Amino acid sequence: MTRDRMKMKVPHEEEYTALIKSRLDERRFYHSLCVADSSEELALRYGADPVKARTAGLLHDLFKNAGRDEVFGLFDRYSFRPDEITVSQKKLWHACAGALYIGYVLGLDEDVVNAVRYHTTGRAGMSLLEKVVFIADFISADRDYPGVERVREKAERSLEEAMTEGLQFTITELCGELKPVHPDSVACYNELVNGGNNGKA
């Protein structure tokens, strides 16, 4: 489903698009547009707020190309103390920094802030909006990793099934690289396989 077909009105979308374009490389900028589309589509399918979903999808990687000094400067400015696994894994920095920025600087609400904050790790007790953005990041049109079609297929029928598949992929990849798995990801996965996905893991 395309943006033209949806004709969804998102407040400040032009401003947010200009912001991410100014901060991201071309590939990551395109990915963000794709995740915005995917988030909106999933929100419409599953009953989440499509405007919040599109906004979070657009901004989710706002700090993906930021350097350590900028990220940790933001952490200090807003008295955010990341856990040691987050500190050690650069891949996790951008979600925390992005959530701080869109909350404190852009003034977006807690639903959107949390969707950005947990789009990489997931967590136990995720809201519907958080699940939508988490999966949109896995299945956006630009994604071509091995197994993406399987995640897309599962997302057609269940966010939880798709999340379980996505987390299995992520956790397996991290273990293969001898990298730590964030406790939020473990908690999210355990919740899903212990009944959070209706026993369909």
Q: What is the pLDDT of residue 137?
A: 98
CA distances (Å), origin 82, targets 76, 93, 108, 127, 195: 10, 9, 21, 22, 29
Q: What is the pLDDT of residue 196?
A: 56
Q: What is the pLDDT of residue 4?
A: 45
Q: Which residues are within 8 A (CB) of 81 and not within 5 positions of it... i.e. 6 or more apart? A: 75
Average of pLDDT values for 72-81?
A: 98
pLDDT at 59 over 80: yes
CA distances (Å), origin 76, targets 57, 82, 98: 25, 10, 14
CA torsion angle for 84, 118, 101, 51 (degrees, to 10)? 180
User: For the stretch 89-98, what's the b/e string if a residue is b when 16 or more beta carbons lie within 10 angstroms of its beta carbon?
Assistant: beebbbbbbb
Handedness of CA 187, 115, 39, 41 (dihedral sign): positive
Mean pLDDT of the chain: 93
Q: CB count, 10 Å around CB of 186?
A: 16
Q: What is the pLDDT of residue 11?
A: 87
Confidence of residue 3 (pLDDT cuts 50, 70, 90): very low
Determine which of 5-19, 26-40, 61-75, 140-154 has the lowest per-residue pLDDT on average: 5-19
Express as a percent the part of the chain with pLDDT over 70: 93
Q: What is the pLDDT of residue 9?
A: 72
Average of pLDDT values for 31-47?
A: 98
Determine which of 51-65, 95-109, 137-151, 185-199 has the lowest per-residue pLDDT on average: 185-199
CA angle 22, 110, 169 (to 5 degrees): 70
- Residue 93, phi-psi category: left (phi > 0), alpha (psi -120 to 50), beta (remainder): alpha
pLDDT at 102 over 90: yes
Instruction: Enter the DSSP assignment of 123.
Output: -
- The count of residues in the chain is 201
Identity at 143, one-letter amino acid code: R
* Predicted TM-score of the model (pTM): 0.92
Please answer whether residues 130 and 98 qualify as being in contact, where contact means their C-beta atoms are separated by less than 8 angstroms.
Answer: no
Q: What is the pLDDT of residue 5?
A: 42
Confidence of residue 198 (pLDDT cuts 50, 70, 90): very low
pLDDT at 15 over 50: yes
Structure tokens at 190: 């355990």
Structure tokens at 117: 């904050």
pLDDT at 2 over 60: no
Gap between the Cα atoms of 185 and 187, Å rounded = 5
Confidence of residue 175 (pLDDT cuts 50, 70, 90): very high
List of domains in the chain: 3-145 (1.10.3210.10)
